[in-house]
Amino acid sequence: MVLCLTLEPSARALDTVRLQQAAVALGPRAERMAGELRDVLARSGTLDDPGRLENINRFFNRQVSFSNDQAVWGQDDHWATPLETLSKGLGDCEDYAIGKYFTLLSAGVTSTRLRLVYVRAQMPMGPGRPAESQAHMVLAYYSEPTAEPLILDNLVPDIRPASRRPDLTPVFSFNRDGLWNGAGPQSAGDPQARVSRWRDVLQRARAEGFE
């Protein structure tokens, strides 16, 4: 899962005023979780990237329980913002990955080091049954342009290099700046034009103070 990375832009801080306004609109749990999010960002801001990854991966995996979009949002496929997910305490794989992505950006990780990766995952179906390939999303972190990425996943609590996740086959990857085919460097165009749900969640996350 090696991608072609470009020159790193500077990281952008969270707008805590907009975060608080969004939290008030979502209700008391959102206000409490906004405070916890600010705390984890304050702790993470003093760390190097590996420490930030551990802190924020652990935070979302502990605060959010897995549930499908139909149960949480009453629709088949909803990509939630970080605050929406934390306010519910529930989310699916996209919601974990999106929450970690925006929070890591706000903690100081540069955007070119992060990719949301749509994969086919070999999921165990139970004793005596073969694993089945299912759609899944993870977050990948690249310390250098040609480095092996680290995978942040809600299915596996610890952060592992891609070589230790043979159960995942990348299909495409993206961030706010680019979209790539499979695991290679070939550009697939503008992510906001090609992935409408990503365009929508970017706009809503910005309204919450994420940039």
User: Mean pLDDT of residues grouped by 10 in the chain (211 residues)?
Assistant: 40 87 96 97 94 98 97 95 97 98 96 94 77 93 90 96 96 90 65 82 95 80
Please tell me the pTM assigned to this model: 0.90
- Distance (Å) of CA 22 to CA 39, 79, 89: 17, 17, 16
Coil, helix or strand for 148?
A: coil
What is residue 145's predicted lDDT score, i.e. its pLDDT? 79
Contacts 24+ apart (CB under 8 A), 24-27: 26/83, 26/84, 26/87, 27/87
Amino acid symbol at 153: D
What is residue 2's predicted lDDT score, i.e. its pLDDT? 39
Q: What's the angle, vertex CA 29, arms to CA 24 and CA 33, rounded to 5? A: 90
| Helices 196-207, 93-107: crossing angle, 10 deg rounding | 50
**Domains along the chain?**
16-207 (3.10.620.30)
What is residue 4's predicted lDDT score, i.e. its pLDDT? 36
Q: Could you tell me the sign of the dihedral formed by the alpha carbons of 58, 39, 101, 10, in that order?
A: negative
Coil, helix or strand for 156?
A: coil
Other beta carbons less than 10 A from residue 162's beta carbon: 20
What is residue 195's predicted lDDT score, i.e. its pLDDT? 82
